[in-house]
Structure 1
Amino acid sequence: MRVLNGASVQGLAGRVGEVVSGDGWTTVVPGNYTSPQPQVSTIFYNNEDLLDEAQALGALLGIEPITELADVPTITVVLRPDFQE
């Protein structure tokens, strides 16, 4: 799973990654995100088998848009300026 910082808040992806890891998720990779889309924090998952996990992650982080997108590896969290830590 990737947690990507598109909010321009230093260290945000790392901090959120620690929250996710602390909840039992494994292999959490933080990084930066530079695309202008999406404009709000969103969780992407690459196939319908991951929907339940993506929804659980959304509940943990308070992120509502959860979208299937074949181009992402497993589950990807994109954090935008609307994200509240």
Structure 2
Amino acid sequence: MSKADYPYPEDEFDAISPDAPTGVHRAPRSAWSRWWPFVVVLVVVPALAYGAVAYLSRTGDLPVVGGPTQGQDAPAEPDDEMVDEDAGEEDPAVGEGEATPDAEPTTPAAAPVLTTPVAVLNGARVGGLAGRVADELEAAGFTAVTPDNATGTLPAQSVVYMASEDLRPTAELVATTVGVPTVEVNPAQAGSGIKVLLVTDPDA
């Protein structure tokens, strides 16, 4: 709307003071009003950040870079006493089956020699006793068995004589086969081998 089309008469409010600004007008700004936001950003914000870091450092709430996250516990350090005790214990599986230095090697038992000469003497006055016992020894594997009759003084019980101690495994097998419990070392009676002197029938 132009001033010519204004329908109302002019009054005291329409009078314009020569000192009043005309149109859109702003007062000139000072240099401080232009720079103070930058001063706040450059000075106040770093100061607040430093104060926050210092406070968190004193309270222990400052997060550690690369450390455990919240809710996770740091790995526990191994206990020195537990490490020493474990180091002193030996695994029972280690060395199992190994012979100790003090253990003596076991010597295998000597096997009976079935080719050893064995004489079977009948002193029981039972017909065919020596031959029957000789057959039992041959059936057990002996290969040099001789049956015969006994002469001279007879012992109180049947005996298996052997010429030396090294013939004991063979003499014990003979005694077990014929059923005579007594085994003696007697070179005079046994000669160079083994002698079975029967004064009773072992099967009777």
TM-score where L is the length of structure 2 = 0.40
Aligned counterpart, 2:168: 51
**Distance in 1 between residues matched to 2:203 and 2:152, nearest whole Å:** 20
Return the structure number with greater relative CO, CA threshold 8 A, min gap 6.
1
**Distance in 2 between residues matched to 1:68 and 1:12, nearest whole Å:** 24
Query: Gaps (5+ residues) in structure 1?
Result: none
Give matches, 1:63-74, under 5 Å. 63-71=180-188, 72-73=190-191, 74=193
* 2:120/2:147 contact within 8 Å kept: yes
Query: Gaps (5+ residues) in structure 2?
Result: 1-117
**Distance in 1 between residues matched to 2:154 and 2:125, nearest whole Å:** 14
**Distance in 1 between residues matched to 2:177 and 2:126, nearest whole Å:** 20
Runs of 4+ in 1 over 6 A off after TM superposition: none
Query: Which protein shows a greater Rg?
Result: 2
**Secondary structure, aligned partner of 1:60:** helix
1:47 deviates by 0.5
Give identity over the alignment, percent: 34
**Secondary structure, aligned partner of 1:9:** coil
**Distance in 2 between residues matched to 1:60 and 1:66, nearest whole Å:** 13
The size of the alignment, in residue pairs, is 85
Name the amino acid aligned to 1:83.
Answer: P
* 2:129/2:201 contact within 8 Å kept: no
Give matches, 1:1-85, under 5 Å. 1-71=118-188, 72-73=190-191, 74-81=193-200, 83-84=202-203
1:83 deviates by 2.4
Structure with greater helix percent: 2
TM-score where L is the length of structure 1 = 0.91
